[in-house]
Structure 1
Amino acid sequence: MALNQSLDHFLAQTDSVGAFLFSLLLIMSVASWYFIVVKAWHAIQVRRRAELFLQKFWASDTLADVAGHLSDGAQADPFSNLTRHALAASQHHARHGSHGLQQAGSTAEFLTRSMRRVIDEETAQLEWGLTALASIASTAPFIGLFGTVWGVYHALVNIGQGGLGGLDQIAGPVGEALIMTGLGLAVAIPAVLAYNDCVRSNRLLLARLDGFAHDLFAFLTTGATIASDQATASHSKAPAIAGVELAYASGEQ
């Protein structure tokens, strides 16, 4: 209650600069919590979908079975997206060969470029919002500190003009000005914690995705089955994948 009264009194006594800094901190706080909530929800959904896809992937016997799961309308996640594009790239190169710089090289080289491009796209998508969180975390304390300095200056000028110099007349306005520093820290601390957690989660997810990409590349280039270490004679290096090549072609546009 006392904090609300001090804040109301501070806003009533401050000028346009102080009001602008206070509004800026509020906007940064809203933006920070928006990114925190959205990215937390997105991370939960990605982990859940990825686990479901990986369970289906490793339970499959061949890549043709995996393609069947993908054609059933599986929800998007980095692992299923990488698999879909890798299967389509392998089939595309097997059918059309090397035409132009994009398809140049062997099947393994073309597949490597396609998978690396997908991983880069997934990395960029995972890093969405991190720049904003980092900017808010690094600038909010300084904005709050500047608001405190400006509030103290404004309060001292008013005290000097009024001819009052007692400790009780100075302590109140200066204490109210310190609210801006507290607001700056209150905005920055959640943003810092969320940024660090997102970076760690993204690093772990990308490490798993990189390991999965190596396994998928080996399956596609050697023709090995998934559930068994022995390759079957009927399993080719570029299995027939209905509807996947079209998705790959549309993704290149």
Structure 2
Amino acid sequence: MLTTILAAAAPKGDNPYGLLPALREGGLISQTVFGILVLMLFVSLYILFTKLFEQQKIMNQAKRVRAGFWSSNSLREGAAKLEKNSAYRQIVDDGLQAQEQYKELTDPVEAHDWLHGSLARSEATINSSLAGGLAFLATTGATAPFIGLFGTVIGIYRALIKIGAAGQASIDAVAGPVGEALIMTALGLVVAVPAVLAYNFLQRRNKAIAENLNAFSNDVLGFLASDGRVRPEVKKVGAPATGAKPAGTTTTAGQAGGVQTRA
């Protein structure tokens, strides 16, 4: 079927050693290898762009958290400022839920350990979702050259068969199979290299996101464990630098409005 389509697509008088003639001559094996590599390429590109969109969405959520979350009077009020399906809101909701569940526990478990475990599970869920599809990129980067090499081996084998049948190594007899072999090698590299680059790029961004989520989770844990007395310092626009405080003043975190000064 694929051979018929390729034959109809190639106009008369076209280059007999191009891609389509090579695939027609290669038969079912070469066409299958070509189809697998093309499929792997398109799936890799799909994963790359969807993961970039997902990562950018979480990075934008982090900016909104830094902008106004910790100026809220409570975690529930701060969570209301975040998107419903936000990764950061998920951490806050899981932390609040864990705090409520702790009151129902009958075994003597430290509150810190219970809250820390719940927040760690929430982080792991988000990180696992971000890592979805990266295994396919890693697999593609590792296997695509070998799939292309398989097509290369088949092409060389067919060239040797033609040489043996003809009794001499004429160019017109081996040019087609050898060209097919080189095409499969090149295609394997074309699929593998972008997959490896995309995997490393997405992994690096995932690591940065995971570090931000972990820092936010620790801040939430400190807030819950101190009943709101410990929270990150809210830096307001135009506020003096930390090292420029007047003499005789100290900073106290944990108030609803952020940092207060006292003599």
User: TM-score, normalised on structure 1?
Assistant: 0.79
Change (3 A) 1:37 1:68: closer
Residue identity in the other structure for 1:123:
N
- Larger Rg: 1 or 2? 2
CA contact (8 A) 2:94 2:119 kept: yes
Which SS does the other structure have where 1:204 is aligned? helix
Tell me the CA shift for residue 157 of structure 1.
0.9
Q: C-alpha offsets along residues 122-157 of structure 1, whole Å, 9 cap, x if unaligned?
A: 121111001111001100011101111111111221
Q: Which has the higher contact order (CA 8 A, sep 6+)?
A: 1
Identity of aligned residues (%): 33
Tell me the CA shift for residue 164 of structure 1.
4.0
The structure that is helix-richer by fraction is: 1
222-231 vs 7-16, which moves further: 222-231
* Alpha-carbon distance between aligned partners in 1 of 2:97 and 2:64, rounded to the nearest angstrom: 21
* Alpha-carbon distance between aligned partners in 2 of 1:20 and 1:61, rounded to the nearest angstrom: 62
Which of 141, 153, 159 is 1:149 aligned to? Answer: 153
Aligned to 1:14: 26
Tell me the CA shift for residue 6 of structure 1.
1.3
Aligned to 2:239: none
CA contact (8 A) 2:163 2:170 kept: no
Tell me the CA shift for residue 65 of structure 1.
2.6
Which of 97, 121, 124 is 1:88 aligned to? Answer: 97
Residue identity in the other structure for 1:76:
N
Residue identity in the other structure for 1:49:
Q
CA contact (8 A) 2:162 2:173 kept: no
Tell me the CA shift for residue 38 of structure 1.
1.3
Gaps of 5+ in 1: 234-253
Aligned to 1:113: 117
The structure that is strand-richer by fraction is: 2
Equivalent pairs counted in the alignment come to 225
Aligned to 2:140: 136
Tell me the CA shift for residue 37 of structure 1.
1.6
User: TM-score, normalised on structure 2?
Assistant: 0.76
Tell me the CA shift for residue 168 of structure 1.
5.4
Q: CA RMSD in A?
A: 2.6
* Alpha-carbon distance between aligned partners in 1 of 2:22 and 2:79, rounded to the nearest angstrom: 63
* Alpha-carbon distance between aligned partners in 2 of 1:229 and 1:168, rounded to the nearest angstrom: 85
Residue identity in the other structure for 1:66:
G
